[in-house]
Structure 1
Amino acid sequence: MSEDSWSAMQLKLAVWSALLLAVRAEQTCDYARYGVVPDVVATAPSVQLDVTFSSGEAAHCGNELSPESTLSPPKVQAPVDPAPFYTLLHVNPDAPLVAPYLHWLEVDIPGSGLRQGDISAGSTEATYRPPQPFPGAGPQRYVYLVYRQPARSAGDSLATDEETELRYFFNVTGYAASRRLEGPVAGNFFLEQLG
């Protein structure tokens, strides 16, 4: 294959990927139907966050995923403004005794990286903890939210694996207000349960 043919094929693939991402972004979730609004946030995000796990399973507005498929952090992607920084939150508003529970918190994610599905340039405030639904409690909601930051954060870490109690009773709205975050600008959620 010639270099020109290869370049043309790469360009077509990039255009199709961008179009697919734009179409997915316009398909917003029904957050009120599942109680994400008002249980987690007061207003629903206007853009759908693409959340895809290495297992190939993906969050899609309340679909049910298996616990085995969500053991590792997912790839997250959204058609956001590439210039500013963003914060990614993953919470479970249904965790027995400690709800809402913070599963993951990344800050200072460049918009250009989030657009490409690469959040590695961000900073981890709370490492990823996989969903662990309580046996017999029925489906639990696992919510991903992206907020726009007014500026790069000061770098103070919220929680580590040793500071589990900081993840308990996590107030998404309070956290967003304390950091002057805008949004949520993107989001998605899925359900998970154990027999």
Structure 2
Amino acid sequence: MLPFYPKRISIWLVILSVTIITAITCELEDSSIQCPDPSTSGNDVDGLLFVSYESVMDVVCGMAYNLEELNNHPEAPEVVQYAAAETDGYYTLIMVDPDAPSRTNPTLRYILHWLITNLKGSDLQTGQHNTGDVIAPYHGPAPPLGSGPHRYYLLLFQQDGPLTDITPPSSTSNFDWIEFAKSYDLGMPVAFNMFTTENIL
């Protein structure tokens, strides 16, 4: 068992982690991160991050959402919850778009949309995220017109302890979240969610 895995890890999360490890070597191709089958699991899955926007209600992993609805409320999701978080633990949340400027030509992969460190596990258990250290403020989805569907990954990492002296990224484009995770010994994500949207106005 790899040292960064939680003690009680579900079979689905093992599969997810193997998928992401494979994705690292494959530069995260289109099929790199897969959601569990909502018909059999819903959002009640170890390793699935519960995310709720005021405008679209609860995010169902892998679901496509209307861009206008998402951007009616440009603030960050009201709720980001990981019920399995360790009460005394600390976590990092990263939101990225791997499909910039388009999925067929992702030369700007990854666009950073949100980065928070030192989220307290006790707050994540109840869905709060306003007590962490905001390294990059939230920016809502903004896919270019006609660029096709864009995926948005929300990745949660468990820290070994509080992080200090975090260097903010110089640009939101070409943000290497894998290297960031390595730099701060974050290991692999312990939870995630994702959705898609596109600009067809």
**TM-score normalised over the length of structure 2:** 0.71
Aligned equivalent of 1:169: 174
- Number of residues of Structure 1 aligned to a counterpart in Structure 2: 163
Contact 1:142/1:189, CA 8 A, preserved across alignment: yes
Q: Is the counterpart of residue 49 in structure 1 residue 49 in structure 2?
A: yes
User: Any stretches of 5+ residues in structure 1 without a counterpart?
Assistant: 1-24
Give the residue type in structure 1 aligned to 2:186.
L
Q: Is the counterpart of residue 158 in structure 1 residue 168 in structure 2?
A: yes
Aligned equivalent of 2:183: 178
User: Any stretches of 5+ residues in structure 2 without a counterpart?
Assistant: 1-9, 36-45, 102-106
Query: Structure 1 runs of 4+ off > 4 angstroms?
Result: 25-28, 42-46
**CA-CA distance at 1:56 after TM superposition:** 3.7
Aligned equivalent of 1:69: 69
- SS, match of residue 112 in structure 2: strand
Over residues 36-84 of structure 1, what are the superposed CA-to-partner deviations in whole Å (9 max), with x where a residue is unaligned? 97218x8879510011101143322210112233322002101211111
Write out aligned runs for 1:36-185 (5 A).
38=23, 39=28, 47-70=47-70, 71-74=74-77, 75-79=79-83, 80-96=85-101, 97-159=107-169, 163=170, 165=171, 167-185=172-190
Shift in alpha-carbon separation, 1:55–1:91, aligned structure 2, 3 A: same
Question: Aligned partners of 2:179 and 2:195: how far apart in 1?
Answer: 23
CA RMSD of aligned residues (A): 3.0
Question: Aligned partners of 1:37 and 1:130: how far apart in 2?
Answer: 28
Larger Rg: 1
Q: Identity percentage over the alignment?
A: 28
**TM-score normalised over the length of structure 1:** 0.73
